[in-house]
Amino acid sequence: MYNWDIRLFYFLNGFSYPPVDKFMLFLSSFQYWKFPLLILLVGLLILGGRKERKFVLVLFITILLSDQISRLLKIIIASPRPYNFLPGVRAIAGKAPSFGFPSNHAANSFALATLTSFYYRKASWFLFPLAILISLSRVYVGVHFPSDVIAGGCIGGLIAWFLAHLSRYLPAVIRG
């Protein structure tokens, strides 16, 4: 663990203001995001053309790979979460039994932002700041170090970038 990582963690995690706590917990919890995201993706599949169906298919593969690669790396690297060895951590989101490095939330939110920006460039102005906020929320609520979310964001972004470029060569099996 690096000194800058611990100092930045304590700075972000040590800030406590109840409205900000609630906002960060909201950002950090997938339960609030999954239903609206599911409705949007089903809507794109039903109402969209070939581009939208291709996007949903590639997004599904991207998030699946991003999530599973991050989970595998957690097991291989076995890096503890901040509350497992640092004193005075505010774990306001509870304590997860899994390891911390890399952050799946950061990987998946950056995978979503990166892939979406390839298909819908105008969404970038909203999705990248949202991915950054989601990643910061994971540090704020005490479940990740800054290096965990930086690595997760890089993993998700690289997987999405690779699959976005690879998807250009998909055969036109998804008819409009």
Token pair for 88: 């005075």
Confidence of residue 1 (pLDDT cuts 50, 70, 90): low
Handedness of CA 27, 29, 32, 36 (dihedral sign): positive
Residue 17, pLDDT > 70, answer: yes
pLDDT of res. 176: 42
Residue 174, pLDDT > 90, answer: no
Average pLDDT in the chain: 88
Cβ atoms within 10 Å of 90's Cβ, excluding its own? 16
Residue 143, pLDDT > 80, answer: yes
Closest CA to 62 of 20, 112, 118, 96: 112
* Domain range annotation of the chain: 3-167
pTM of the predicted structure, to 2 decimals: 0.88
Q: For 113-149, give the DSSP string.
A: HHHHHHH-GGGHHHHHHHHHHHHHHHHHTTS--HHHH
Dump pLDDT digits (tens) for 69-121.
999 999 999 899 998 888 988 888 878 888 889 999 999 999 999 999 999 99
pLDDT of res. 149: 96
Q: Please tell me which residue, 123 or 170, carries the higher pLDDT value.
A: 123
Share of the chain above pLDDT 90, in %: 48
